[in-house]
């Protein structure tokens, strides 16, 4: 078999031939890298999330609704290498998929933070960390303004810790588990009717928290992070009214407070006594004038993720008679590390 060697360099159009050959090679190579089938094995594993828990006690709970989405922040190796900056993550089947696809690569360190609720009207802002200290506990500084949702929205945060990929990746990386924790305190009020006659019930038409912390920040990069009031902002938070009969305590809805203790916080209460000839029910005749009181908020060391029940006993001394001669309504507070309404109340 004869072999022919073409000396392209000596050909008068050799430069055109080489240019065309080089261009064809580049186009062919580019076409291969854009094919999903030709992605390197290290990049074939997309970053996904799973096992989204809240305080590792109740799965997928935020206030009374399931978590449908959360915002994701994340970087590779250092905070300047951002891959997720507020990307929406939604549940699809058994996995949680970011709206932006990113991949695992060998020999790198990944860190992720998640915040819920995902909608922008809830009142939170997030400022991702710009440096990576030796001891790093979270993704940045979280700010919350309670007035956006008037105390009716919970706030959750999760940090994945550092996830290191192996130098040689022989299998896809597993989904990232996100254990969300409550960043606010849950508060409700319970009233107990001690008038001693079941024909008299008390309408607590208003319970209002006044001058509580309205805006604060928390540095999640610190080990012992805590909320700090911002701009001296305060807020007034309304709770719903309740009818209090002698046969059972009445509890208001819950509200969510920033666990930041400030001076000058108060509770405003409106009460009025009614008489009913029936043995039960909430319809009756006005028996007393509408009484309003403002009392100091009890000294409570509010903690994130805790439930607080403010309990008041309504007696003839503090709900009947001339409003100026009423004894003040006082509250005792029970603290529970559980994020629910299952709190036992000792009634007389």
pLDDT in tens, 115-131: 999 986 789 999 999 99
pLDDT of residue 121: 77
Helices (H), ranges, the chain:
14-33, 316-319
pLDDT of residue 179: 86
Phi, psi (degrees; rounded to nearest 5) at 305? 80, 5
Residues of the chain with pLDDT under 50: 1-40, 42, 56-65, 341-348
Task: Find tokens 């709770």 and name the residue.
Answer: 239
pLDDT of residue 211: 97
- In the DSSP assignment, the letter for residue 53 is E
pLDDT of residue 15: 41
CB 299 within 8 A of CB 263: no
Rounded distance between C-alpha atoms, residue 314 and residue 271, angstroms: 9
Rounded distance between C-alpha atoms, residue 185 and residue 339, angstroms: 9
Report the topology of domain 41-182: Immunoglobulin-like (2.60.40)
Q: Tens digit of pLDDT for each residue in 148-159?
A: 999 999 899 999
pTM of the complete model = 0.81
Tokens read off for 10: 């000596």
* Rg of the Cα atoms in the chain: 31
For 229, the enclosing helix (H) or strand (E) is strand 228-229
Rounded distance between C-alpha atoms, residue 256 and residue 188, angstroms: 9
State the CATH class of domain 185-336: mainly beta
Domain regions of the chain by residue span: 41-182, 185-336
Closest CA to 239 of 202, 274, 289, 204: 204
**Comparing 41-182 with 185-336, is the CATH topology the same?**
yes
pLDDT of residue 47: 87
CB 269 within 8 A of CB 241: no
């Amino acid at each position: 078999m004869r072999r022919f060697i073409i000396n392209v360099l000596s050909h008068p159009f050799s430069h055109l031939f080489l240019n065309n050959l080089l261009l064809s090679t580049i186009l062919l190579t580019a076409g291969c890298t854009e094919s999903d089938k030709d992605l390197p094995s290290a990049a074939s594993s997309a970053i996904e999330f799973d096992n989204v828990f809240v305080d590792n006690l109740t799965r997928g709970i935020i206030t009374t609704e399931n978590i449908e989405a959360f915002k994701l922040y994340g970087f590779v190796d250092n905070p300047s290498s951002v891959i997720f900056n507020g990307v929406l993550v939604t549940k699809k089947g058994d996995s949680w998929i970011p709206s932006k696809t990113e991949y695992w690569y060998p020999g790198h360190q990944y860190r992720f933070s998640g915040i819920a609720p995902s909608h922008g009207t809830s009142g939170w802002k997030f400022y991702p960390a710009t440096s990576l200290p030796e001891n790093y506990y979270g993704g940045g500084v979280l700010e919350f303004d309670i007035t956006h949702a008037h105390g009716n929205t919970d706030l959750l945060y999760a940090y994945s810790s550092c996830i290191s990929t192996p130098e040689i990746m022989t299998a896809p990386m597993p989904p990232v588990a996100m254990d969300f924790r409550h960043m606010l305190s849950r508060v409700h009020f319970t009233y107990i009717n001690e008038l001693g006659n079941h024909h008299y019930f008390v309408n607590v038409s208003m319970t209002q928290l006044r001058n509580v912390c309205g805006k604060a920040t928390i540095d999640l990069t610190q080990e012992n992070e805590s909320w700090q009031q911002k701009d001296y902002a305060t807020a007034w938070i309304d709770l719903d009214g309740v009818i209090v009969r002698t046969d059972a305590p009445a509890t208001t809805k819950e509200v969510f407070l920033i666990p930041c203790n400030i001076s000058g916080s108060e509770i405003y209460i409106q009460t009025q006594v009614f008489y009913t000839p029936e043995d039960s029910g909430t319809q009756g005749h006005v028996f007393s004038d509408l009484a309003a009181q403002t009392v100091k908020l009890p000294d409570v060391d509010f903690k994130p993720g805790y439930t607080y029940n403010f309990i008041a006993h309504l007696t003839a001394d503090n709900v009947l008679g001339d409003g100026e001669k009423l004894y003040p309504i006082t509250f005792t507070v029970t603290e529970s590390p559980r994020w629910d309404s299952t709190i036992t109340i000792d009634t007389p």
